[in-house]
Amino acid sequence: MKKTEKQKENKIRPGMQVEFICPKCGTHLAWALPEMEMNCPKCGNWVNNQNRKKPKLDLLLPTDDDQLTLF
Ligand SMILES: [Zn+2]
Alpha-carbon gap, residue 68 to 23, rounded angstroms: 22
Residues paired with 8 in a beta bridge: none
Q: How far is the CA of 11 from the centre of ligand 1 (A)?
A: 25
Question: Is 7 a domain residue?
Answer: no
Q: How far is the CA of 5 from the centre of ligand 1 (A)?
A: 33
pLDDT digits (tens, 9 = 90+) for 20-45: 999 999 999 999 999 999 999 999 99
Q: Domain of 25?
A: 16-53
Question: Is 26 a domain residue?
Answer: yes
Question: Is 67 a domain residue?
Answer: no
Question: Going along 1-71, which residue ranges are E strands?
Answer: 16-21, 28-32, 37-39, 46-48, 60-62
Q: How many domains does the chain have?
A: 1
Share of residues in the chain with pLDDT > 90 (%): 52
Mean pLDDT of 7-30: 83
Q: How far is the CA of 30 from the centre of ligand 1 (A)?
A: 12
Alpha-carbon gap, residue 6 to 32, rounded angstroms: 21
Question: Is 71 a domain residue?
Answer: no
Question: Is 8 a domain residue?
Answer: no
Better-predicted residue by pLDDT, 63 or 53? 53
